[in-house]
């Protein structure tokens, strides 16, 4: 079961990154071209929000069933162990919170510019945080 959750979490991450990137680019294009915020734009942002939250839930389940959680207690001097057991989960929770704030702020904005700006800023910050704490060595491991 642990292996399945781990593989799912790793595979789902590609979808999360892709959808967040599409959402940020869509918002930046909408902002730059002064487009109206349409139902399509809302759906793109909503799908980005949903896949990010699913990833968070799977990641939390993985964290609590992972042998890394127990092995890391009191051993934060190892950078790889610290990344996977502390930095990755903590920073990604912060990233999902920022994405959620962006979704909430877009709903309160009264103009298309405000909606696009909220999504572009907060989803963009979330994406940057997620990219900064991905354990790349594990992703590209043979």
How confident is the model over 12-60, as pLDDT tens digits? 999 999 999 999 999 999 999 999 999 999 999 999 999 999 999 999 9
**Cβ–Cβ under 8 Å, residues 63 and 69:** yes
Distance CA 90, CA 84 (A): 10
Q: Is the pLDDT of residue 86 over 90?
A: no
Report the percentage of the chain scoring pLDDT > 70.
90
Q: Is the pLDDT of residue 110 over 90?
A: yes
Half-sphere exposure of 29 (CA within 13 A, CB side): 7
Q: Is the pLDDT of residue 137 over 70?
A: yes
């Amino acid at each position: 079961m642990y292996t399945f959750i781990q593989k799912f979490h790793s595979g789902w991450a590609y979808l999360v990154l892709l959808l967040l990137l599409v959402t940020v680019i869509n918002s930046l294009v909408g902002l730059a071209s002064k487009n109206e915020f349409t139902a399509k734009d809302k759906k793109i942002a909503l799908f980005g929000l949903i896949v990010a939250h699913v990833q968070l839930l799977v990641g939390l389940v993985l964290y609590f069933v992972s042998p890394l959680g127990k092995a890391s207690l009191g051993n934060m001097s190892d950078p790889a162990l610290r990344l996977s057991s502390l930095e990755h989960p903590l920073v990604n929770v912060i990233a999902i919170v920022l994405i959620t704030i962006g979704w909430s702020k877009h709903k309160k904005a009264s103009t298309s510019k405000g909606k696009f700006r909220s999504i572009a800023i907060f989803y963009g910050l979330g994406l940057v945080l997620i990219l900064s704490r991905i354990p790349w060595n594990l992703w590209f491991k043979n």
